[in-house]
Structure 1
């Protein structure tokens, strides 16, 4: 059974479509990240799942139950899900325990069961000794844990996370990433998080859905998004790849093909079904300087020392307006002619 299912979900604000025909099935117990730049529609999509917005069209089902379609709309409090907000949304006048118990009181859970649920949830997030404190007495990371405990106490089948780590410093973000992964494993709930940070999405999720202008660009495991982006937008956004124009010389066979770049023939991975113009996705970790005769001719445009290595911006001969980055232990002055070796690349057909 799917933990979450979206079918043709659309949300229009006037003539603008913030979410445009999104179809997505999230397996029960999965951890999905909705990833994309600001304004791509990911937060609106999360609000549609939560019931905070009504879809203009389409169907939404949670754990097999339809919560929104043409004739149905289940209110947020009746959807049986949990949500962790970027702002934590804790009641400042309530203790930690009372904040965690709030949703259980709304659901009229008996007091003894409520106390057990609160104690279990606080223990799960490592705050068993903080039950009597007020939110103002906690650090940002501890407040985030309280918000998560309040969510876990409800034992929801689906947990929505709205930029949950945005307000934390770098160290706390890493700590909470580990906590989210641990709690996901231990609870078995379906998690859906929204983020614009690709490193965070890759650290948290087993599946990432990349959005752009209200539409899904690609849904795949993090390693597949990185290794085989389906569109130029995904290639630029994930890993910040440089897209270099090439000629695809032959259609792909078993995922391999050849391309022509700067007068050189290169082997690459790809799925192009016919020869023609294309784009080669190049990332710095698969590039190196080379003195081989068949190396790609290039020129150093800029060089920056970053402690242990130099980051070189290179312009490939015959390629305009695109620079590729290479890390080198040896310095190269701007203007120096160099050869470029490509260890791995992914080709996209235009």
Structure 2
């Protein structure tokens, strides 16, 4: 049984373009899904539809096998049995940590002894047992985030919705909380669905990432597959620090690879693009500097020290509008002619092509 299932879900506000357009998605029970995309792509609206905070104009939503929204039925948010962690934490400032965690349980009229046990277990799970009597104002940002998560987990929901849960934390706390979210996901056994615009966060947290663009799902895949084999130019640009370089696809080569021509050089790379105009996605780790006259001819544009390595920007011969970036232990002088060794890459059809 799926933890969450959406079939043809659409949401419009007014007469404009759909904020969510014909989205179909199945999330296995116990999975961790990240909804990833730029601002305005529809990911938060989709989360609100699942939560019951918005009504779909079309389509069906089912949670743990129970239909909560379709053309004939709409289950109110408080009746869906979901847990939700908001970006703002949404803690009651006048309540203690324990009272905040117990709030949803009181609303559900859980008996006092069960409520006390659930609160204690949830606080222990997030490492805040010693903070039960404190008020939110006495906690750090990371601790407040843990309280919000404990309040959610105390309800023992089948699905936990996370709305940009780490956006308000500094870089160090975000990394720490990523570890906590992964641990709590494993221990709770719940289905987690997180909305984020941060690709590194999505990759670190989720076992499946769904990329959205203009209200539609454009690729749903495991993080590694999404990074190594983007389905479109939009995904290739948005995920990772890659560059898209125009190439000519000559046809298939051995082992399912494609033969391409780049700046006069013939290469074999991964991909499924048909013969004709293509776009080659190059990641920094796939590239290396070699001597002039070797590899693909290029010129150094910029060399910036990033702490332990240099980030070098190159312009490939004949393609000044498509710079590529690689990392190297030593700097390279701007203007210097070099060779570019392409160890790997992924070619897809040019935009507007087949």
TM tier, smaller: over 0.9
Contact 2:253 2:268 in 1 (8 A): no
Distance 1:136 1:241, change over 3 A: same
Q: Secondary structure at the match of 1:300?
A: strand
- Provide the secondary structure at the position in 2 that maps to 1:171: helix
- Could you say what secondary structure the match of 2:260 adopts? strand
The answer on whether the counterparts of 2:294 and 2:340 sit within 8 Å (CA) in structure 1 is no
**Deviation of the 1:17 alpha carbon:** 1.1
Residue 211 (str. 1) matches residue 212 (str. 2): yes
Q: CA RMSD in A?
A: 1.2
* Aligned CA distance change for structure 1 residues 210 and 133 (closer, same or farther; 3 Å): same
Alignment of 1:317-336 (within 5 A): 317-336=317-336
The alpha carbon displacement at 1:328 in A equals 2.5
Q: Deviations over 1:287-340 (max 9, x none)?
A: 011127551001112222333333221111111411001223333222111100
**How many Å separate the matches in 2 of 1:252 and 1:27?**
36
Q: Match for residue 90 of structure 1?
A: 91
Aligned to 1:261: 262
Question: Could you tell me how far 1:253 is from its partner in structure 2?
Answer: 5.9
- Tell me the secondary structure at the aligned position of residue 129 of structure 1: helix
Q: 2:242 is matched with which residue? A: 241
Matched ranges for 1:124-139 at <5 A = 124-139=125-140
Please give the alpha-carbon distance, in whole angstroms, between the structure 2 residues aligned to 1:53 and 1:112. Answer: 35
Partner residue, 2:278: 278
Alignment TM-score, normalising by the size of structure 1: 0.97
Question: d(CA) in 1 for partners of 2:48 and 2:346?
Answer: 35
How far apart, CA to CA, are the structure 2 residues paired with 1:132 and 1:307? 43
Partner of 1:222: 223
In structure 1, the partner of 2:164 is 163
Instruction: Work out the CA distance in 1 between the residues paired with 2:35 and 2:131.
Output: 32
Q: Contact 2:287–2:341 (CA<8 Å) still a contact in 1?
A: yes
Partner of 1:4: 4
Question: What is the CA-CA distance between 1:16 and the residue it aligns to?
Answer: 2.4
Q: Which segments of 5 or more consecutive residues in structure 1 lack a partner in the other structure?
A: none
Q: TM-score, normalised by structure 2?
A: 0.96
